[in-house]
């Protein structure tokens, strides 16, 4: 049975973007285009279990223009790096 390269790459891409394994101290890449830290890598420092819109808190080394170093994100806005 042949599996197309596109299907295989899409499957790998979906697994890399899986938000189900986000835990404290995980390294994540920001996918939210409106964010100051778009495509930057940060560290998860809190994952809320409740049903809120932005349950994952991420801390960054780079400060934003007003001195903020953390932000909350939705699972779909983050990609797990390690």
Top CATH class of 21-80 equals: mainly beta
Domain ranges of the chain: 21-80
CA diameter of the chain: 56
For the stretch 56-66, pLDDT in tens is 999 999 999 99
For the stretch 15-58, pLDDT in tens is 445 445 899 999 999 999 999 999 999 999 999 998 999 999 99
How many whole angstroms separate alpha carbon 24 and alpha carbon 22? 7
Helix H segments across the chain? 5-16
């Amino acid at each position: 049975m042949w599996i197309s390269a596109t299907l295989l790459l899409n499957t790998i891409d979906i697994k890399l973007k899986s938000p189900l394994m986000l835990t404290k101290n995980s390294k994540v890449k920001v996918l939210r285009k409106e964010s100051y830290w778009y495509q930057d890598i940060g560290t998860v420092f809190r994952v809320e279990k409740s049903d809120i819109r932005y349950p994952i808190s991420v801390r960054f080394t780079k400060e934003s223009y007003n001195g903020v170093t953390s932000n909350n994100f939705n699972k779909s806005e983050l990609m797990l790096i390690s």
